[in-house]
Amino acid sequence: MKKIKLHDKEFKLLVESAAIDLAITGLAQRLNSDLKDEQPLFLSVLNGSFMFTSDLLKQINIPGTEVSFIKIASYSGTCSSGTVRELIGFNKNIEGRTIVILEDMIDSGRSMAYLLDLLQARKPKKIYVTAMFYKPQALKCKIPVDYYALSLKNDFVVGRGLDYDDLGRNLPDLYILDNGEEKA
Ligand code: IMP
Ligand code: MG
């Protein structure tokens, strides 16, 4: 079993890179078909979505596709703080546009709820919420999750853009916190 150590914590392999790639390819195919006439603007939420955005967008072939990056933050350590900070420097006119938000992970949904409010105020035609990973059991805010690549249980994970106190984002596989016991 592949294991890694980040700061003080041990993590073990949860999902191999190839399985994540496959799920992202499936997601790209769905988006290519569903949004083919929409000239979508993909809005990648930094930092965690950088790898997802790159992996996904290489497989998007919709005419008029655009990509922009936005930044918010709501997390420190392994437990969601429940507070969401400000949206950093996003001045693009999105009125009438079809927006596809790209998130690394939807956990409580608080950051997404905040982001949706901010973006809706700018009168886009439609916003699709798209996540690489989604923890349905962790959801605390009522938000639409239109597309996701993989759903996960309510556990803390790292890799593939997701970090534990800034470490682990570069890992191609996804790892789960290893507390020494096997879960059923
Ligand atoms: P939410 O607002 O609780 O949905 O949190 C969303 C953000 O928290 C994600 O975009 C991630 O950056 C981060 N996050 C949520 N779950 C995890 C995790 O298991 N590992 C690392 N970061 C996470
Ligand atoms: Mg994030």
Model pLDDT for residues 140-177, shown as the tens digit of each residue: 999 999 999 999 999 999 999 999 999 999 999 999 99
Residue 96 has pLDDT above 80, yes or no: yes
98 and 40 in contact (C-beta within 8 Å)?
A: yes
Q: Is 151 helix (H, G, I), strand (E, B) or coil?
A: strand
- Whether the per-residue pLDDT at 81 is higher than 80: the answer is no
Cis bond before residue 47 (omega within 30° of 0)? yes
Report whether pLDDT(75) > 90: no
Whether the model pTM is above 0.85? yes
Report the pLDDT averaged over residues 68-83: 63
pLDDT tens-digit series, residues 1-44: 899 999 999 999 999 999 999 999 999 999 999 999 999 999 99
Q: Can you spell out the DSSP letters for 37-101? A: TS--EEEEEETTTHHHHHHHHTT---TT-EEEEEE---EETTEE-S---PPBS-----TT-EEEE
Helices assigned H by DSSP within 89-150: 110-120
Ligand 1 pocket, CB under 6 A: 48, 74-75, 80, 103-112, 156-158, 162-163
Q: Closest ligand to 110 CA?
A: 1
Residue in 87, 107, 133, 143 to alter for ligand 1 test, most ligand atoms within 8 A of Cβ: 107
Ranges 48-52, 113-117, 157-161, 179-183: which has the least confidence: 179-183
Q: What burial class does residue 89 get, using C-beta atoms within 10 Å of its C-beta: 0-12 exposed, 13-18 middle, 19+ buried?
A: exposed
Report the residue among 116, 162, 175 best suited for mutation to probe ligand 1: largest number of ligand atoms under 8 A from its CB: 162
